[in-house]
Structure 1
């Protein structure tokens, strides 16, 4: 996502507009944006996509909390049929001015209980459209399966004969030929 000019979903928030009590920001998508994002994520369709966020902090460090909800169409990895699915992802991301010094931890950190390192504020702005798309992508099932579809494997071997039984039969046939 280096070329922000061509990314299909952009909603830029200028952190200079952040109020002491915080700011609520909702990303509502247009049909054109959803179609472009569906193509970008290789999805058959995105019917609805919304990001609801609360931004708090100051112009040098901002915390974004909220959620991303989507109604999408995915392709079943078993039957290759399209089916409707939904995505709901909780969002909690911190952004910081890259020029801010990072405090050194005094004791070892528990990686399970802490947020990742802050993302960089770029030119005092946060693209909440890109954040919405990122959390949608994170919420996608990498191996989607249409409800009710099962994967049934048939190896072509009749009955419950194991591969070792077939090898045993082959061994007997070979040793029978030597006599």
Structure 2
């Protein structure tokens, strides 16, 4: 399934410049392959969102499958080419990003039923499994926005302090760091100098 279309439903597009909503009911038991390619307009919006000079290209290959009944698991990889500004030289440079995607979604949990007095002493069940996995994201209305997932992983993959290859921070020379010489240092220097004509 290849998706180059803009947007999606209005609610999803308000949340992310890149929106590709997918209903859990559309995912067959064997899973679904989804390819996402951002349009020029979407790349421009993503560049503004992430304070980038430009997003030159963005695509993602995803595998969506059912997870624990009515949940979803999204696995795949995003590839992007972005134009960033070096924090040292203030020059723009292009960088390639390859980022794996792995995320799970589950419907909101129902409110716990009130306990009867005979069960008050029973220990509560564990919220997370014994392996310590991160809890799944909430699947709201049975729909996951795959574009929003890709946008989020792009933001997380960006270096907040981008450095142009080869750029290095040069510390100022000690004399440049403290150009003002104290009067006491000047007096000491005069005392150490040999007398004139001596």
TM-score, normalised with respect to structure 2: 0.72
Matches within 5 A, 1:160-179: 170=185, 173=188
Match of 2:30 among 21, 24, 30: 21
**Separation (CA, whole Å) in 2 of partners of 1:22 and 1:108:** 26
- After the TM superposition, which parts of structure 1 deviate over 4 Å for at least 4 consecutive aligned residues? 105-110
After the TM superposition, which residues 64-79 of structure 1 pair with which residues of structure 2 at under 5 Å, given as runs? 64-79=74-89
- Matches of 2:39 and 2:130 in 1, distance apart? 45
Where does the alignment leave 5 or more consecutive residues of structure 1 unmatched?
none
- The aligned residue for residue 63 of structure 2 is 54
Q: Answer yes or no: is 1:135 the counterpart of 2:153.
A: yes
Long gaps (5+) in structure 2: 1-10, 113-124, 192-198
How many residue pairs get matched? Answer: 162
Query: Residues 72-151 of structure 1 correspond to what in structure 2 (within 5 A)?
Result: 72-99=82-109, 104=126, 109=131, 114=133, 116-151=134-169
Q: Distance in 2 between matches of 1:70 and 1:36?
A: 14
Partner SS state of residue 123, structure 1: helix
C-alpha distance in structure 2 between counterparts of 1:82 and 1:29, whole Å: 22
Q: CA offset at residue 4 of structure 1?
A: 3.8
Are the aligned partners of 2:12 and 2:21 in contact in 1 as well (CA < 8 Å)? Answer: no
Q: Is 2:49 the partner of 1:40?
A: yes
Counterpart of 1:134 in 2: which secondary structure? Answer: helix
Larger radius of gyration: 2
Residue 157 of structure 1 pairs with residue 167 of structure 2: no
**Alignment root-mean-square deviation, CA:** 2.9
The SS at the match of 1:157 is helix
What is the CA–CA distance in structure 2 between the aligned matches of 1:155 and 1:56, rounded to whole Å? 59
